[in-house]
Amino acid sequence: MRAREDRRQHLERLIQRALSELPQRRAPASLEHRVIEAIEGRAGHASQQESSGRERIRRGGFGSWGFGVRAALIACCLASVIVVLVGLKALATRVGMIAADPSIAGRLEALRHAGEAAAALGALPARLIRAIPSDWLLGGLIATAVLYTVLFALVAIGYSTLYVTPERSRS
């Protein structure tokens, strides 16, 4: 039974190879013309059916909307801007009051000290980098670029070796 499957697979490969070597045939010009006309006719018919109000609004943009709809949208946008500005004013007022509150002043002082400690910790890597000679940094950058290029080349070679076969490159 295994021999029968092997012969069948061999025959399929032979047929596939023979068919892939045949040149592609173009459709007759009359058929091509009729298909294009049918597609255009369907597209025209579909566009006539879709010319309802929603589709017209979606395709035409803001300028094609009715006056009432445009006025309502502009009113909603203006109301949103007013609400945001009032909210920002209230927030600014409350933030000013929080900084003046004595019970929170101690917490803000602790926060300031934590920020200073974080800044000092962030300055440490900057000092270390400044201590490294610039020639070493340049050499490290060049070595990194070369290694990245070699890695990219190895991946490309590996891909072409593993996945691109003569059978696949023909199709």
Please report, in tens digits, the pLDDT of each residue of the chain (171 residues total). 688 888 888 888 888 888 888 887 777 777 777 888 888 877 776 666 555 556 666 667 777 788 898 899 999 999 999 999 999 988 888 877 776 666 776 777 778 888 899 888 888 888 888 898 989 989 999 999 999 999 999 999 988 888 866 665 555
Instruction: Give the pLDDT confidence score for residue 46 in this predicted structure.
Output: 62
Burial class from Cβ neighbours inside 10 Å (0-12, 13-18, 19+) for residue 46 reads: exposed
Q: At what angle do helices 67-100 and 102-131 cross, to 10 degrees?
A: 90
**Which of 150, 146, 166, 160 has its CA nearest to residue 17?**
166
Handedness of CA 116, 121, 125, 127 (dihedral sign): positive
- HSE (CB half, 13 Å, CA atoms) of 145? 6
Asked whether the beta carbons of 64 and 57 are under 8 A apart, the reply is: yes
In this predicted model, what pLDDT tens digit does every residue of 100-118 receive, in sequence order?
Answer: 666 776 777 778 888 899 8
